[in-house]
Chains A and B, each alone.
Chain A
Amino acid sequence: MRRNLSIIAVATLAAGTAALLPGIAAAEYPEKPITMLIGFRPGGAVDTTGRLLAASMEKILGQPVVGVTKAGGGGTVMASTLVTAAPDGYTIGMGASAAYALAPQMNTKLKFKIDDFDHIATVSIPQDAIVVRTESPWKTLDQLLADAKAKNRPLSFASQVSIATLMTMAISNKSGVQFNVIPVKGGAVGIQEVLGGHVDVTWSGSGWHKQVAAGTMRALASMGPKRNAGYPDLPTLKELGYNFEFVDTFMLSAPKGLPKEVLAKLSEAVKASLTPEFSKNLLSKMRLVTDYRGPAETTAYLHKQHDDMAPLVAELKKKQKK
């Protein structure tokens, strides 16, 4: 009996210590440099956001935050790597929402889902728009679609990721106009094809702003949920009656199982980093709007994006089978 008691005592003590340990670790976190995996190529919008964020978080956390490029597959290469990392807060990943909310639906071979991560914070959102070249006769999206319909010809649409396949499908469903999606690598190539007059329409995240400013391109619609503050006259697709909105939101994530305190500390660090000066910088340099959202909100947003896209993905898969 006595022996049993002592075992219980030891066990209780051990359990108590174990429960305390993460608390102690968190109190000291971070005690070594943090690795930030970046899911896109150097020089792009995600990379720039990530590196500026890392520089700012470094000052707040008091430990170096080292950016490491893990580009490829629209952010899925980074996510596949991040999901296998230790959930200790020393490996975090800067990526974009499509990799978590959309890619696993489109490509069932990917070995991760939204909830395999602790999403730390939403950092910024790009301002996507559908654009044509200025020499084209189309002034609005409706004009473009009506013209295609009258001439009974498909529109060519240069697009960089699978997201545009879904978007053109949503537009086709309502207007009856068919699209030939020309696959391109990167929004810049799409812009080039449209500028050269080889392709009718494209969409882009940030590159279109300078073309519109220079008078070489015309924006027809904004793809996000809200109007673009810099172009208040530009309607959103939703407003035009097309059931589609998608913004590839840039976010910071970590593998599932991060100690609560570490998660809180990291999301606080992101929040503190996004000063008005930081936002102004990001808007003027990269045409990105900063938009801080905490862990719960970010995860909920990913699920919303997932569910919004699910019917379109199902429809697309049905079509591809035929």
Chain B
Amino acid sequence: MEAILAGIGDALTPINLFFIAAGVFTGILVGAIPGLNAPMAIAIAVPLTYYMSPLAGITFLIGINKGGTYGGSITAILLNTPGSPEATSTAFDGYPLARKGKGLKALKMALYASVFGDTFSDIVLFTVAAPLAIVALKMGPAEMTAVLLFSMTIIAGLSGRSLVRGLIAAALGAFLSTVGLDIQTAEPRLTFGFAELQDGIPIIPLAIGLLALSEILIQIERHLIAGGGGHRSIDIFGRSIPREDKVVSWAEWKTCFRTIMRSSLIGTGIGALPGIGAIVAGFLGYGAAKRASKHPERFGTGELEGVAAAEAANSAVTGANLIPLLALGIPGSLSAAILIGAFLIHGVDPGPLIFKEYPRLVYGIFAAMAVANLFNLVIGGFGLRFFALLVRFPESATHPIIILLCIAGAFATGSSMFSVGIMLVFAVLGYFMRKLDFSFATFIIGFALGENFEVFFRQTVILFMDRPMELFTRPIVLALLALTIWVLWRTGHRRAPAA
């Protein structure tokens, strides 16, 4: 108890509050800018924290992570170019809302849902981290294969008008995820002699090209065809826009609440399991909301619930990601892996003993996380006014800047022109996918899940090679397989009469 109070006291010192705020602000900024993202900013900021106290340093980095998860939604909603890959699903309904002049409403909903999801996930971390980590440990390769198999059923919900095209895109994504060293034999696969491809196609340049740059290409083309004038971006602060389009009403908040809760749970669950990630969580939350909705056809056309579903889910990953990190010393994501390094630099070894050895620091971090959520709400609230000005700039000014940032961001991920090349290849691919109505969402899901699915599947095969029937004695595997079959059956059932 004493440690808890001391920790909270530490977090509330002016200098620590300053670093939390600085972290959140940096996070929102890099999150919002296509090309830059939170893991990148954390990696760059780690050396800066050498000179800070452990608490200030670590909370600064966690602040960046938290701000980053909301920041991505800003450009996703306003410009249809997700500032970070996990905001892809936020753009599905966010951008149509912005086109209808309800951009401010969508931004606010995204902020509230994001902060809610994040807070929910933090509360789970504060209260049941240790037992939840034990449960997560029970998820071996066989269970994880089943989880990923179940996750793939969301492809059906995100395929757009044609399920076949959605599946083709997903298969292409999964195929490209096999590039790189074979995990078992260490033989390079499909690298064509490029050492840079040994670790696989890097997801950040891929996502920047596919999600952000390809959209800019489309917009430029639209602009050119329209003959210079083109469509003018909407002034979401304009007096002509009624007040109810600028705020989230109590009634709307209430209708979305179930969705936000569901997404928060999904995101927290995904966050506690290493190896899935916030991108997939966003899609899963969105897909589940669409499935549960009474009017799924409205999703994708500017449904506020869609924004809430995606943002709550991808933000809820952040807090839960720290569960395996703090309870077991095992990082659940790239950001968490970089955070481990930061902990170690400050002489703190995250693991089973951290609560015993550094209780004051741990509770300080918890308190700082709660404060960071509050700051996210406040800074995000002010920030959205500032960022919303973006859409008032003519596209002839924003497009070149975004293209430049995309190139710089791709370069920064690999410190080489090779990653820029990868980004450009996927920008062209994304352009044609958009033009030909192939869902790039299912492509990203295939790519993001493919790599881990292969790893877990092959691990399972090696482990159960000599006793395959034992797989059917594992309750978690059975439950997930049953759930997968049920969802597939329902999807088929729903589609059949419509077709």
Interface check A176, CB cutoff 8 A: no
A157 to B334, CA, bound (A): 24
Given contacts A47-B341, A182-B141, A210-B329, contact A73 B465 (CB under 8 A): no
| Total count of chain B residues near the partner, CB < 8 A | 52
- Are B340 and A43 interface neighbours, CB within 8 A? yes
- Are B415 and A76 interface neighbours, CB within 8 A? no
A39 to B466, CA, bound (A): 38
Which residues between 330 and 345 of chain B lie within 8 Å of chain A, taking CB atoms?
A: 330-331, 334, 337-342, 344-345
Contacts of A210 in B (CB 8 A): 329, 349, 351-353
- Are B344 and A286 interface neighbours, CB within 8 A? yes
Contacts of B462 in A (CB 8 A): 156, 180-183
- Are B139 and A196 interface neighbours, CB within 8 A? yes
Q: How far is the CB of A280 from chain B (nearest CB, A)?
A: 11
A66 to B47, CA, bound (A): 11
A230 to B344, CA, bound (A): 18
- Are A214 and B199 interface neighbours, CB within 8 A? no
- Are A184 and B337 interface neighbours, CB within 8 A? no
Q: Which of A154, A192, A198 contacts B274 (CB 8 A)?
A: A192
- Are A42 and B344 interface neighbours, CB within 8 A? no
Specify the chain A residue showing the minimal Cβ separation from B39.
A42
- Are B351 and A42 interface neighbours, CB within 8 A? no
Q: Which of A70, A182, A196, A286 contacts B137 (CB 8 A)?
A: A196
Interface check A161, CB cutoff 8 A: yes
Interface check B402, CB cutoff 8 A: no
- Are B352 and A214 interface neighbours, CB within 8 A? yes
Contacts of B329 in A (CB 8 A): 188, 191, 207, 210-211
Specify the chain B residue showing the minimal Cβ separation from A217.
B352
Q: How far is the CB of A186 from chain B (nearest CB, A)?
A: 8
Interface check A92, CB cutoff 8 A: no
A192 to B137, CA, bound (A): 7
- Are B138 and A196 interface neighbours, CB within 8 A? yes
Specify the chain A residue showing the minimal Cβ separation from B193.
A109
Specify the chain A residue showing the minimal Cβ separation from B182.
A183
Q: Which of B183, B188, B342, B347 contacts A183 (CB 8 A)?
A: B183
Interface check B483, CB cutoff 8 A: no
Most buried by B among A80, A162, A181, A198: A198
A82 to B328, CA, bound (A): 36
Which residues between 315 and 373 of chain B lie within 8 Å of chain A, taking CB atoms?
A: 324, 328-331, 334, 337-342, 344-345, 347, 349, 351-353
Instruction: Give a binary string over B2-26; 1 marks a CB under 8 Å from any A CB, 0 the rest.
Output: 0000000000000000000000000
Q: How far is the CB of B340 from chain A (nearest CB, A)?
A: 5
Interface check A320, CB cutoff 8 A: yes
Given contacts A81-B195, A196-B137, contact A43 B46 (CB under 8 A): yes
Q: Which of A76, A162, A198, A207 contacts B140 (CB 8 A)?
A: A198
Interface check A185, CB cutoff 8 A: yes
Contacts of B338 in A (CB 8 A): 41-43
Interface check B75, CB cutoff 8 A: no
Q: How many A-B residue pairs have CB under 8 A?
A: 135
A279 to B340, CA, bound (A): 20
Instruction: Give a binary string over A148-165; 1 marks a CB under 8 Å from any B CB, 0 the rest.
Output: 000001101000011000
- Are A41 and B337 interface neighbours, CB within 8 A? yes
Contacts of A140 in B (CB 8 A): none
Interface check B252, CB cutoff 8 A: no
Interface check A60, CB cutoff 8 A: no
Interface check A175, CB cutoff 8 A: no
Contacts of A106 in B (CB 8 A): 186
- Are B140 and A196 interface neighbours, CB within 8 A? yes
- Are B353 and A161 interface neighbours, CB within 8 A? no
Most buried by B among A55, A73, A189: A73
Interface check A4, CB cutoff 8 A: no
Q: Which of B195, B337, B353 contacts A43 (CB 8 A)?
A: B337
A232 to B334, CA, bound (A): 35
Interface check B50, CB cutoff 8 A: yes
- Are B345 and A48 interface neighbours, CB within 8 A? yes
- Are A211 and B352 interface neighbours, CB within 8 A? yes
Given contacts A48-B345, A69-B415, contact A182 B463 (CB under 8 A): yes
Instruction: Give a binary string over A76-109; 1 marks a CB under 8 Å from any B CB, 0 the rest.
Output: 1100110000000000000000000000001101
Contacts of A285 in B (CB 8 A): 344-345, 347
Interface check B151, CB cutoff 8 A: no
- Are A77 and B46 interface neighbours, CB within 8 A? no
- Are B463 and A109 interface neighbours, CB within 8 A? no
Which residues between 175 and 206 of chain B lie within 8 Å of chain A, taking CB atoms?
A: 181, 183-188, 193, 195-196, 198-199
Instruction: Give a binary string over B109-139; 1 marks a CB under 8 Å from any A CB, 0 the rest.
Output: 0000000000000000000000000000111
Contacts of B330 in A (CB 8 A): 188-189, 191-192
- Are A72 and B198 interface neighbours, CB within 8 A? yes
Interface check A195, CB cutoff 8 A: yes
A44 to B43, CA, bound (A): 11
Interface check B165, CB cutoff 8 A: no
Interface check B458, CB cutoff 8 A: yes
Interface check B455, CB cutoff 8 A: yes
Interface check A243, CB cutoff 8 A: no
- Are B195 and A180 interface neighbours, CB within 8 A? no
Given contacts A43-B340, A183-B183, contact A51 B47 (CB under 8 A): yes
Q: How far is the CB of A146 from chain B (nearest CB, A)?
A: 20
A68 to B187, CA, bound (A): 26
Contacts of A81 in B (CB 8 A): 195, 416
Interface check B459, CB cutoff 8 A: yes
Given contacts A42-B341, A43-B338, A188-B330, contact A199 B137 (CB under 8 A): no
Contacts of A48 in B (CB 8 A): 341, 344-345
Specify the chain A residue showing the minimal Cβ separation from B414.
A70
A42 to B195, CA, bound (A): 19
A320 to B185, CA, bound (A): 9
Specify the chain A residue showing the minimal Cβ separation from B458.
A183
Q: How far is the CB of B267 from chain A (nearest CB, A)?
A: 21
Q: How far is the CB of B230 from chain A (nearest CB, A)?
A: 40
Contacts of A18 in B (CB 8 A): none
A182 to B342, CA, bound (A): 29
Interface check A144, CB cutoff 8 A: no
- Are A216 and B352 interface neighbours, CB within 8 A? yes
Which residues between 209 and 263 of chain A lie within 8 Å of chain B, taking CB atoms?
A: 209-211, 213-214, 216
Specify the chain B residue showing the minimal Cβ separation from A106.
B186
- Are A71 and B351 interface neighbours, CB within 8 A? no
Specify the chain B residue showing the minimal Cβ separation from A111.
B195
Most buried by A among B141, B181, B328, B337: B328
Specify the chain B residue showing the minimal Cβ separation from A109.
B188
12 other A-B residue contacts (CB within 8 Å) besides A110-B195, A210-B352: A41-B334, A41-B338, A42-B46, A43-B337, A70-B415, A77-B196, A180-B463, A183-B183, A184-B455, A189-B274, A195-B137, A210-B349
Which of B's residues lie within 8 Å of A, judged by CB?
43, 46-47, 50, 137-142, 181, 183-188, 193, 195-196, 198-199, 274, 324, 328-331, 334, 337-342, 344-345, 347, 349, 351-353, 414-416, 455, 458-459, 462-463, 465-466
- Could you write out 25 A-B pairs with CB less than 8 Å apart? A42-B43, A48-B344, A48-B345, A72-B195, A73-B181, A81-B195, A107-B186, A156-B463, A180-B462, A182-B462, A183-B183, A183-B458, A184-B459, A185-B455, A188-B331, A191-B329, A192-B137, A192-B274, A195-B137, A198-B140, A199-B140, A199-B463, A210-B349, A285-B345, A286-B344
